[in-house]
Amino acid sequence: MLETLVDAFPTLALLAYEPPGWGANLLRGLVNSIQIALGAYAVGLIIGTAGAFGKLNGGPVTRDLLAIYTTVVRAVPELVLILILYFAVTDLVNQGMVAMGYARVQISGVAAGIAVLGVVQGAYSTEVIRGAILAVPAGQLEAARAMGMPPLKTAWRITLPLMLSNAIPGLANLWLIATKDTALLAIVGFAELTLQTRQAASSTKAFLTFFLAAGVLYLLITLVSGVIFGRIEKWARRGQRGSGAGS
């Protein structure tokens, strides 16, 4: 059946894994994309958690600075931010290296991509996590405080587990945004899935085949992540009433 399909659409043979085909390149791009998305998501979660606690419990200056950070990042297109941060970060690191007497370094695309997308993700996850923390019943926190729990322990043992179930839908959305934002790194010349696809497409002239194949790969990431996040949400909602775990 596969052979009849290849006979009908000869360009499908270009997707083969071995060198005449470009399958290996696409898969390498896919791995790069997932790697960056995972890294940026992790960085974003760290920034987001810190930012959310800072916005809720920080002093007035911290709060205002965080408000500026989230507002600016959410108002400027990711593409522009990626360009600014990409040049600024590599420039700053190199100037620092030169000032300290070292030679200039070439920053790896993966590290720069993770840093840049992580800063963008951080702004969004700050808002998601802040909203989730606000939805934690106040009585739980008051009870913890009444028991004499120190603030850090309260955050770790009470706030984080309770806010997780509220945050999961928003965080799932952010993960999908992270995977799709990796495509923007194609513009700064990083060899992730979209750029690999474009290179394969322009050297073989089979544009439709390759872009459709890449679309299928992205869609697979989305669908698989949907299933995984569904599981995680079910796990995070365990023990809650009406969660559907028992019924």
Partner 1 sequence: MGAARAARQRGRVMTDASLTDSAPPKFWLTHRIIMAVVAALIVALCAFTLRWDWLPKYLPLIGEGIWRTLWLLAVTTFFGFFLAIPLGLAQAAGPWYLAAPARAFCTIIRGTPLLLQLWLLYYGLGSLFPQFPAIRQSELWPYLRQAWPYAVFALTISFAGYEGEVMRGAFKGVPGGQLEAARAMGMPRLTILRRIWLPLAIQRALPTLGGETVLQLKATPLVATITVVDIYAVASRVRQDTFIVYEPLLLLAVVYMVITGLIVLAFRWFENRVPSRVA
Which chain residues interact with partner 1 by CB under 8 A? Answer: 59-61, 64-65, 72, 74-81, 83-84, 87-88, 176, 180-184, 186-187, 194, 197-198, 201-202, 205, 207-208, 211-212, 214-215, 218-219, 221-223
CB nearer to partner 1: give 75 or 146: 75
Least Cβ distance, residue 4 to partner 1 (angstroms): 22
CB nearer to partner 1: give 30 or 164: 30
Least Cβ distance, residue 223 to partner 1 (angstroms): 7
CB nearer to partner 1: give 73 or 158: 73
Least Cβ distance, residue 116 to partner 1 (angstroms): 13
Least Cβ distance, residue 72 to partner 1 (angstroms): 7
User: CA–CA separation, 171 vs 245, rounded Å?
Assistant: 21
User: CA–CA separation, 44 vs 118, rounded Å?
Assistant: 5
> How far, CA to CA in Å, does 63 sit from each of 118, 127, 178, 247?
20, 13, 25, 43
29's CB contacts (< 8 A; 6+ apart) are 191, 192, 193, 194, 195, 196, 197, 214
CB nearer to partner 1: give 37 or 236: 37
Whether the CB-CB separation of 129 and 197 falls below 8 Å is answered with: no
How many Cβ atoms sit within 10 Å of the Cβ of residue 99? 8
Least Cβ distance, residue 87 to partner 1 (angstroms): 5
